[in-house]
């Protein structure tokens, strides 16, 4: 006996990826409903070898469904997630709406699976930000060994984090560079993204940081340890899929780079590729379509006491969004619902 599963926002990048991953991982689905807004109503989406026609989110009855994976913006989530939860359907939400609610667990299954039992307060579970998800997968096993004091992270985030419009803008602007008669001014991004980098993701806050940077701080504290100090600089780069991060970690006690590498190799969800030779590291192009978070360039930082540097790369549409949501669904089924 399997689950009755709803994917909300099934026509978007993340929603389609959720459908792909549910099929790839052979999640025990008895019935699946693909929902979309009225403007996308009737669009066909793939689920394994099946083709599904999207239904109307606005009129859908969540009664009798086990779980709903939400891949829509915060506004639509605010309207429909509470309705699904009230109908007894557990919501796994990919938006930022519920991540900072103390009554709603924020989960990366490799890091804090025990938090799953907190879902019952509101029948909602939050999925973290894409840049946070891949980083905490690497931080947690190292924190368990040597206790992290401080993290300094600079991100190199792909345009797919801004959705299909972001990917289209990079494609169109890149073509326009070689065709001067075809000018493509910025729309999705604040400045030209082709052949450029933009140190601005989400809105600016009073202290000069952006909301994306604040998310990494707040979410790392909620998922791993409230005592960890985090500072982030988040940058959009002209890469279609795959986020990269340069992470500097300060520990309370010494952790040798070789031991750190061994710990990461044995940790779930991580692939260490770290050869000190040309090409002995992973780049975004190579991580696309993979479930793993890749770690390279592990080395001591001699400028601080008990410091390490590492390079972290992951497919942001997978571990940063859809894969983590499906892993939460698997954890929910395994630990709580126990039907599949």
pLDDT at 49: 94
Annotated binding site for substrate: 157, 236
CA–CA distance from 312 to each of 76, 127, 144 (Å)? 32, 19, 19
What are 250's two structure tokens?
């300060």
- Out of 89, 111, 143, 243, which one is annotated catalytic? 243
pLDDT at 67: 98
Annotated binding site for phosphate: 99
- Out of 111, 130, 234, 287, which one is annotated catalytic? 130
The yes-or-no answer on residue 89 being catalytic is no
Q: Per-10-residue mean pLDDT for the chain, 340 residues long?
A: 95 95 96 92 93 96 98 96 98 96 97 96 97 98 98 98 95 92 91 98 98 98 98 98 98 98 98 97 97 98 97 96 97 89
**Is residue 258 within 8 Å of residue 281, measured between CB atoms?**
no
**Is residue 1 within 8 Å of residue 340, measured between CB atoms?**
yes
Annotated binding site: 11-14, 39-40, 99, 157, 160-161, 236, 316
pLDDT at 182: 81
Of the candidates 303, 211, 289, 184, the one whose C-alpha atom is nearest the C-alpha of residue 249 is 303
pLDDT at 1: 79
Please state, in angstroms and rounded to a whole number, the distance separating the CA atoms of residues 189 and 172: 13
The yes-or-no answer on residue 243 being catalytic is yes
């Amino acid at each position: 006996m399997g689950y009755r599963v709803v994917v909300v926002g099934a026509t978007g990048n993340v929603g389609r990826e959720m459908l792909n991953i549910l099929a790839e991982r052979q999640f025990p689905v008895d019935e699946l409903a693909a929902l979309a807004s009225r403007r996308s109503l009737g669009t066909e989406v793939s689920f394994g070898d099946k083709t599904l026609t999207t239904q109307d989110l606005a009129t859908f009855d969540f009664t009798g469904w086990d779980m709903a994976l939400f891949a829509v913006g915060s506004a639509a989530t605010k309207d429909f997630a509470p309705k699904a939860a009230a109908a007894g359907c557990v919501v796994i939400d990919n938006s930022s709406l519920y991540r900072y609610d103390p009554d709603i667990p924020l989960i990366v299954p490799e890091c804090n699976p025990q938090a799953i039992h907190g879902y019952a307060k509101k029948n909602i579970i939050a999925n973290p930000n894409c840049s946070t998800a891949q980083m905490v997968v690497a931080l947690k096993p190292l924190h368990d060994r040597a206790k992290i004091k401080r993290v300094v992270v600079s991100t190199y985030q792909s345009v797919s984090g801004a959705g299909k419009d972001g990917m289209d803008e990079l494609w169109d602007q890149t073509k326009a560079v070689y065709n001067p008669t075809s000018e493509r001014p910025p729309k999705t991004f604040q400045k030209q993204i082709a052949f450029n980098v933009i140190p601005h993701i989400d809105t600016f806050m009073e202290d000069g940081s952006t909301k994306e940077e604040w998310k990494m701080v707040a979410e790392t504290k909620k998922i791993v340890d409230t005592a960890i100090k985090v500072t982030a600089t988040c940058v959009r780069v002209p890469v279609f899929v795959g986020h990269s991060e340069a992470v500097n970690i300060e520990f309370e006690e010494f952790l040798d780079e070789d031991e750190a590498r061994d710990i990461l190799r044995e940790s779930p969800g991580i692939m260490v590729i770290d050869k000190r030779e040309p090409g002995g590291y992973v780049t975004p192009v190579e991580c696309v379509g993979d479930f793993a978070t890749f770690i390279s360039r592990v080395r001591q930082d001699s400028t601080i006491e008990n410091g390490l540097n590492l390079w972290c790369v992951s497919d942001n549409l997978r571990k940063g969004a859809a894969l983590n949501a499906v892993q939460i669904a698997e954890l929910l089924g395994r630990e709580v619902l126990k039907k599949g």
